[in-house]
Every structure is written in structure tokens, then in C-alpha cells.
């Protein structure tokens, strides 16, 4: 449909306009990209989460996080766009609507978030879901009965549970593979392999997968590569640029960043993948609320600032723990001791705020440590401004069999930290006092 240019002040259905294009009622700011008095504006296209790079002029991550999809309201001038809570939208005639008809299908507040996150992940299409698990379920549904998934073997416990206990009942099989060496994947491929599913860094052992190499192998076999980028956020890592077909996030974590939203998102460049996922999402009803979408968009605005502080604190804590005689091992990609430190520097712009370590003394020491932390909170999840600590073997990865946990390094003395943005001196002091209680001076390495 050719967009109709509406002149400023023209009255349509009793309302004056502000000089936007009308494309099924969705304003298209292409005209705003023209130079006005020698300066460029932040024009971009709001098409239900589709980010049109040709209309894009802002380069900085923080600038895009704050402005993409967030123009002042054209009718009131409100700097922060209001939440669109309406479930249904007026049609000027039968089938003629302004881009929105029913909020399960699409919603203006959700579209604004989808557009922003697509830009930050350097993708074209963003689809927001009701949770990260809903993203997983919807993507897996595209495979169909008889399909096969190859997954990194230390994938997030919830994803493992879905592959093993839900997808398997739908005739979809999964092979869990150690991808520390990308070429290990070759032997796992079958004629019915449709998807390769990767996390990097993995949860909770922070092992890395070479995205570019795995993408090449995956595409050689005609499959698509899905990368869970939750631990890194788009600020530190952009898997689409490295060859991934779909990037997924638990928005609950760093993207929202305040531990008050459950939400997920998928970003991609391929239109056929986008259309298939959008159709399934609408059919399955796996959509987030407008309020959650608004909160997530608010979180995006400070993502770049928060991620820098998360990383600064995590690196300082990693160095502290490395030099502490009550700690067996520290696992953090930002430390030179991490066996894949060079890969981390190659494929990402930073190292993130997640850190794991093995305490001396086994489960009893880990349990004592977690009972005695004061500033860190014993809780699952991650990525909020507050610091959290958890015991993967008994909490986030309890669904794994003991044999599987042992194979992927989820030992009884492993503790995972989601390092927040508090003052790092306070965080280190808390870790120190809890270690002093949990590990007597005579405890040796296990």
C-alpha cells in the first residue's frame, strides 16, 4: 500500500495530525530523516517490531536504547509515550485499521519495545513473548513432529527440561553435545536436524561456544542456529552479526534489569522465520502485557550503563575470589585464567556480570556460605540491579540428573553469582565474611 502523506494540521476523523505518513495508520517517519535546518532527526519505522535499518541514523547503543521506538506522543507531546492498555482498536471501516486491531496480535507499547530491541541486537525483526520459556516453546513448535534439535549440553535447566520432557512428547528429539570444540557438532547432525541451540556463555559454568564456527557448520547442514544471548545482553554480544539466525533473551534478566518483569524476546533478520514465529505466537497467545512491555522498554534505556557496572563489579569480585584461599576455582570469562578468555575477547565486546566459583569443602561449605551472605540475596534468576547468589545443583539445575550435572560441571560446591551494581567494596566485604564462616582455615581443596 502506498503511504499517504498527511499535511500538518489536516483534520482526519475530527482529529488534527502532526505531519506523519499514514501506512495503515502506523506512522512512518521516513520523511523525518530528511535534513531539517541542517540537522538529522531520529526517524525510524514503527512496523510492529520491524526495525528498518534504511531509516536509521543513530549509531550509539545508548542513544538507540533511549530513542528508538520512543518518540514523544504526537498528540499530547508527552516525552514518555503512554502505555496502550486497550485490548481492541477502532476501525474506520470494515478491515481498515491503523495497524492494530486486537492486542494479542499486536500492541503499540509492545511494538515500541520490539523495535528497540531489534535495533540493539542489529536485527530486523523483534518479537516479544510472555517469557523466555514461551520463546523456546514457540521456536521448537516450528520444527514439527519428527524434527531433531542439537543443543549445547550445559544449556539452561529450563530449556533442558523443555527439550527433554515436553518436546520429546511431541515427537521432537534432542541431542545434547559438548560444543567447547565446535567440530563436535558434526557427528550429532542427522537428516532431520532442524535447529542447533546454543548458549554462550553457558549457564552456570560460563563455557563459551564459538558462534561463528558453529554457524558455518550449522548452515552447511541446512539447519538454523539459535543463540540464547541472555547472559551477555545485546550491549556486549550480537550473535546475528556472527551468523546466528535467531537470538533469544529472557527479558526478565538484564534487558529489564529490575527483577519485576517476566518476559522473553526473539530477534531475527529472516522474514520467513519472523512470519512463522509471529503467526504461532498469536495462535498460542504467548504475548506479554503492555505494562510489562513498557517496563522492559524503560529497562532498555539504562542497559548500557548497567552492563558496564555489572561487568566492572564482576571483574573485581573475580579477582578477589581468585586470590582467596577458601575458593577452589573461579569461572569468569573476563579473567585471564578462563580457558576461553581469548574467544571471549574475539566474539564479544565485554564479559558480563555473571560469575561462578567452587568453594572449598563441598556442599556443606556452599550451604553455609549461602546461609551467611547478607548483601547478596539467595535467589534464582539473574540480571537485576541487586546481587544474587544461588546453588545451581539444588536450585536452577535441580531437574538435571546427577550424571548430567557431573558431566557439565554443576558440582555440589559450585555457587553462581549474579553481580549487581551496588558498591563493589560492600559486595566483596559480604563475600569475605561469608567465606570466613563457611570455610574454616584447615579445609583443604576437595
| Three-class secondary structure assignment of 173-212 | EEEEECCCCHHHHHHHCCCCEEEEEEECCCCCCCCCCCHH
Position with higher pLDDT, 29 vs 167: 167
Least Cα distance to 350 among 375, 397, 314, 391 occurs for 314
- Give the C-alpha separation, 361 to 208, whole Å: 27
Domain end call among 244, 278, 300: 300
Residue with the three cell numbers 572449598: 360
Give domain status of residue 29, yes or no: no
Pick the last residue of a domain from 280, 300, 320: 300
Residue 51 lies in a domain: no
Rounded to 10 degrees, the C-alpha dihedral 107/111/113/116 comes to: -170
pLDDT for 100 equals 92
Both 270 and 412 in one domain: the answer is no
Same domain for 278 and 372, yes or no, is no
Please pick, among 228, 245, 412, 430, the residue that the annotation labels catalytic. 228
276 & 337 share domain: no
- CATH code of the domain containing 160: 3.40.640.10
> Which residue range is the domain that position 341 belongs to?
303-438
More confident residue, 196 or 404: 196
CATH of the domain at 307: 3.90.1150.10
The C-alpha cell at 88 is 481492541
Of 98, 104, 301, 394, which one is the catalytic site residue?
104
Same-domain pairing of 288 and 354: no
Q: What pLDDT, in 10s, does the model give residues 303-321? A: 999 999 999 999 999 999 9
Query: Residue 216: exposed, middle, or buried by beta-carbon count in 10 A (0-12, 13-18, 19+)?
Result: middle
The domain total for the chain is 2
Measure the CA–CA gap between 46 and 22, rounded to whole angstroms.
11
Asked if residue 407 is part of any domain, the answer here is yes
Same-domain check for residues 244 and 321: no
Among the listed residues 161, 207, 213, 253, the single catalytic one is 253
Q: Look-up: residue for cell 559438548? A: 178
* 75 among known catalytic residues: no
Whether the Cβ atoms of residue 224 and residue 198 lie closer than 8 Å to each other: no
Nearest partner of 311 among 409, 245, 235, judged by Cα: 235
Does the pLDDT at position 407 exceed 90? no
Q: Which three cell numbers stand for residue 361?
A: 569443602
- Quickly list H helices, 50-190: 61-67, 108-120, 132-141, 157-161
Q: Is residue 383 classed as helix, strand or coil in its secondary structure?
A: coil
Is 228 assigned a catalytic role? Answer: yes
Instruction: Give the DSSP H/E element, type plus range, for residue 272.
Output: helix 271-284
Q: What value does the mean pLDDT of the chain take?
A: 89
Q: Which of 156, 235, 254, 274 is catalytic?
A: 156
Among 300, 330, 363, identify where a domain stops. 300
- Do 209 and 147 have their domain in common? yes
Does 319 reside within a domain?
Answer: yes
The alpha carbon of residue 353 and the mean position of all alpha carbons in its chain are separated, in whole angstroms, by 14
Instruction: List pLDDT tens digits, range 337-366.
Output: 999 999 999 999 999 999 999 999 999 999
Q: How far apart are CA 427 and CA 424, in angstroms?
A: 5
**Res 48: pLDDT:** 54
Q: Are both 263 and 359 inside the same structural domain?
A: no
Length, in residues, of the chain: 446
Distances (CA, A) of 208 to 227, 258, 355, 413: 12, 26, 13, 21
Q: Are residues 272 and 155 in the same domain?
A: yes
165 and 259 both lie in a single domain: yes
- Which tens digit of pLDDT belongs to each residue from 74-124? 889 999 999 999 999 999 999 888 889 999 999 999 999 999 999 999 999
Residues 423 and 384 in one domain: yes
The answer to whether residue 380 is domain-embedded is: yes
pLDDT value for 37: 31
Taking a C-beta distance cutoff of 8 angstroms, is the pair 357, 321 a contact?
A: yes
The Cα angle at residue 45 between residues 39 and 49, in degrees rounded to 5:
140
| CB distance 322 to 335 below 8 Å | yes
% of the chain beyond a pLDDT of 90: 78
Whether residue 27 is predicted with pLDDT greater than 80 in this model: the reply is no
| 124 catalytically annotated | no
Which of 197, 145, 199 has the alpha carbon at shortest distance from 175?
197
Residues 285, 324 within the same domain: no
Tell me the mean pLDDT in the region 7-23.
37
Distance CA 222, CA 437 (A): 54
Amino acid at each position: 500500500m502506498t503511504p499517504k502523506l498527511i499535511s500538518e494540521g489536516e483534520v482526519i476523523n475530527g482529529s488534527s495530525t502532526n505531519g506523519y505518513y499514514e501506512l495503515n495508520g502506523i506512522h512512518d517517519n521516513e520523511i523525518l530523516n530528511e535534513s531539517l535546518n541542517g540537522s538529522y532527526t531520529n526517524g525510524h519505522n514503527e512496523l510492529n517490531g520491524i526495525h528498518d535499518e534504511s531509516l536509521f541514523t543513530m549509531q550509539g547503543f545508548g542513544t538507540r536504547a533511549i530513542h528508538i521506538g520512543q518518540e514523544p506522543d504526537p498528540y499530547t507531546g508527552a516525552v514518555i509515550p503512554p502505555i496502550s492498555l486497550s485490548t481492541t482498536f477502532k476501525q474506520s471501516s470494515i478491515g481498515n485499521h491503523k495497524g492494530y486491531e486486537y492486542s494479542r496480535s499486536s500492541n503499540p507499547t509492545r511494538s515500541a519495545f520490539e523495535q528497540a530491541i531489534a535495533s540493539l541486537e542489529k536485527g530486523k525483526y523483534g518479537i516479544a513473548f510472555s517469557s523466555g520459556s514461551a520463546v523456546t516453546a514457540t521456536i521448537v513448535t516450528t520444527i514439527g513432529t519428527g524434527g531433531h534439535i542439537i543443543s549445547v549440553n550445559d544449556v539452561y535447566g529450563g530449556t533442558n527440561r523443555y527439550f527433554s520432557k515436553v518436546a520429546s512428547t511431541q515427537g521432537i528429539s534432542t541431542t545434547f553435545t559438548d560444543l567447547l570444540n565446535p567440530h563436535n557438532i558434526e557427528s550429532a547432525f542427522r537428516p532431520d536436524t532442524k535447529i542447533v541451540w546454543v548458549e554462550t556463555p553457558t549457564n552456570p559454568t560460563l563455557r563459551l561456544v564459538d558462534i561463528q564456527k558453529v554457524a558455518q557448520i550449522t548452515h552447511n547442514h541446512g539447519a538454523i542456529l539459535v543463540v540464547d544471548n541472555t547472559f551477555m545482553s545485546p550491549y556486549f554480544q550480537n550473535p546475528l552479526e556472527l551468523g546466528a539466525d535467531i537470538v533469544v533473551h529472557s527479558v526478565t534478566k538484564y534487558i529489564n534489569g529490575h527483577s519485576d518483569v517476566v518476559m522473553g524476546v526473539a530477534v531475527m533478520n529472516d522474514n520467513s522465520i519472523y512470519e512463522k514465529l509471529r503467526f504461532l505466537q498469536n495462535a498460542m497467545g504467548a504475548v506479554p502485557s503492555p505494562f510489562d512491555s513498557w517496563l522492559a522498554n524503560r529497562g532498555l534505556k539504562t542497559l548500557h550503563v548497567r552492563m558496564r557496572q555489572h561487568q566492572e563489579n564482576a571483574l573485581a569480585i573475580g579477582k578477589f575470589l581468585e586470590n582467596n584461599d577458601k575458593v577452589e576455582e573461579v569461572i569468569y570469562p573476563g579473567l585471564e585464567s578462563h580457558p576461553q578468555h581469548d574467544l571471549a575477547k574475539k566474539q564479544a565486546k565485554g564479559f558480563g556480570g555473571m560469575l561462578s566459583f567452587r568453594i572449598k569443602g563441598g556442599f556443606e561449605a556452599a550451604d553455609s556460605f549461602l546461609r551467611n551472605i547478607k548483601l547478596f540475596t539467595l535467589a534464582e534468576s539473574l540480571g537485576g540491579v541487586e546481587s544474587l547468589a544461588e546453588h545451581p545443583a539444588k536450585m536452577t539445575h535441580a531437574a538435571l540428573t546427577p550424571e548430567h550435572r557431573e558431566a557439565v560441571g554443576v558440582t555440589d560446591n559450585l555457587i553462581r553469582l549474579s553481580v549487581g551494581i551496588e558498591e563493589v567494596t560492600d559486595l566483596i566485604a559480604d563475600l569475605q565474611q561469608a567465606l570466613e564462616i563457611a570455610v574454616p582455615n584447615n579445609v583443604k581443596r576437595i
